[in-house]
Structure 1
Amino acid sequence: MGNLLIGFLIDTITMNFLSNKSTSYNRCTPAREGILANKTNAMHVDGIYYYMEKILAYIHASAAYRQGIFGQGILVAVLDTGIYPHSDLQGRIRGFRDYIRQRQQPYDDNGHGTHISGIIGAGGKGAVHGVAPGCYLQGYKVLDKNGNGKILDICQAVEDIMKYNQNHAQKIRVINISVGMRERVRPELQQRLLRSVEQAWDQGIVVLAAAGNNGPGENTVTSPGVSKKIITVGSLDTINERKREPSLYSGRGPTESCVVKPEILMPGTDIISCGTRPGTYIRKSGTSMAVPVVSGMIALLLCKYPAMMPNEVKLQLYRSADHSGIDESFKCWGTVDLQRLLSVYQM
Structure 2
Amino acid sequence: MEAVAFVKMLHQALTRPKRREPDRHILRVANAADYYRIAKTIQETKSVFRRLASVRPLPLIHAFSYKGVLNPAFLRRFAGLVTIEDDVAVSVHALPGHGAGSPVSPGRVKRPFVPSGIRTVRVPAVWKHSLGDRVKIGVIDTGVDYNHPDLQPALSRGINLVHPRTLPYDDNGHGTHIAGTIAAAGRYAMTGIAPHAVLLPVKAFDHEGSAYVSDIIKGIDWCVHQGVHIINMSFGMKQRSDSMLEAVRNAKRSGVIIVASSGNDGRRGFIDYPARFPQTISVGAIDAKGAIAPFSNRGKRIDVFAPGEKVMSTWPKGRYHEMNGTSMATAHVTGVLALAMAARPGLTPMQAKRLIAAAQVPLKLPKKATRYPGRLDAVRAFRHLKG
TM range (shorter): 0.7 to 0.9
Structure 2 partner of 1:251 = 297
Q: Secondary structure at the match of 1:25?
A: coil
Q: Is the 8 A contact 1:176 1:291 kept in 2?
A: yes
Q: Secondary structure at the match of 1:88?
A: coil
- Paired AA for residue 315 in structure 2: G
Q: Deviations over 1:295-325 (max 9, x none)?
A: 0000000111002211011111112322242
For residues 84 and 224 of structure 1, the distance between their equivalents in structure 2, rounded to whole angstroms, comes to: 26
Closer, same or farther in 2 for the Cα pair 1:324/1:289, shift >3 Å? closer
Structure 2 partner of 1:25 = 104
TM-score, scaled to structure 1: 0.82
For residues 279 and 352 of structure 2, the distance between their equivalents in structure 1, rounded to whole angstroms, comes to: 11
For residues 18 and 178 of structure 2, the distance between their equivalents in structure 1, rounded to whole angstroms, comes to: 28
- Paired AA for residue 250 in structure 1: S
Please report how far the alpha carbon of residue 331 of structure 1 lies from its aligned counterpart in structure 2 after TM superposition.
4.1
Q: Which has the higher contact order (CA 8 A, sep 6+)?
A: 1
Q: Secondary structure at the match of 2:229?
A: strand
Q: Is the 8 A contact 2:261 2:327 kept in 1?
A: yes
1:1-347 superposed matches below 5 A: 5=20, 11-21=88-98, 22=100, 23-29=102-108, 45=109, 47=110, 50=113, 52-67=114-129, 69-85=130-146, 86-165=148-227, 172-181=228-237, 183=238, 185=239, 187=240, 190-219=241-270, 221-238=271-288, 240=289, 244-253=290-299, 260-278=300-318, 280-327=319-366, 329-345=369-385
For residues 126 and 246 of structure 2, the distance between their equivalents in structure 1, rounded to whole angstroms, comes to: 34
- Paired AA for residue 90 in structure 1: Q
For residues 27 and 205 of structure 1, the distance between their equivalents in structure 2, rounded to whole angstroms, comes to: 35
Closer, same or farther in 2 for the Cα pair 1:123/1:269, shift >3 Å? same
Query: Which stretches in structure 1 are left out of the alignment for 5+ residues?
Result: 30-44, 166-171, 254-259
Closer, same or farther in 2 for the Cα pair 1:8/1:128, shift >3 Å? farther
Closer, same or farther in 2 for the Cα pair 1:131/1:89, shift >3 Å? same
Aligned length: 306
Closer, same or farther in 2 for the Cα pair 1:330/1:136, shift >3 Å? farther
- Paired AA for residue 297 in structure 2: G
For residues 247 and 278 of structure 2, the distance between their equivalents in structure 1, rounded to whole angstroms, comes to: 13
Closer, same or farther in 2 for the Cα pair 1:160/1:48, shift >3 Å? same
Q: Secondary structure at the match of 1:101?
A: coil
- Larger gyration radius, structure 1 or structure 2: 2
- Paired AA for residue 162 in structure 1: V
More helix by proportion, 1 or 2?
Answer: 2
TM-score, scaled to structure 2: 0.74
Q: Is the 8 A contact 1:207 1:230 kept in 2?
A: yes
Q: Secondary structure at the match of 1:294?
A: helix
Closer, same or farther in 2 for the Cα pair 1:3/1:83, shift >3 Å? farther
Closer, same or farther in 2 for the Cα pair 1:192/1:3, shift >3 Å? farther
Q: Is the 8 A contact 1:198 1:227 kept in 2?
A: no
Query: Which stretches in structure 2 are left out of the alignment for 5+ residues?
Result: 1-15, 25-85
Q: Deviations over 1:28-50 (max 9, x none)?
A: 24xxxxxxxxxxxxxxx2x4855
Q: CA RMSD, aligned part only?
A: 2.3
Q: Secondary structure at the match of 2:96?
A: strand
Q: Is the 8 A contact 1:261 1:332 kept in 2?
A: no
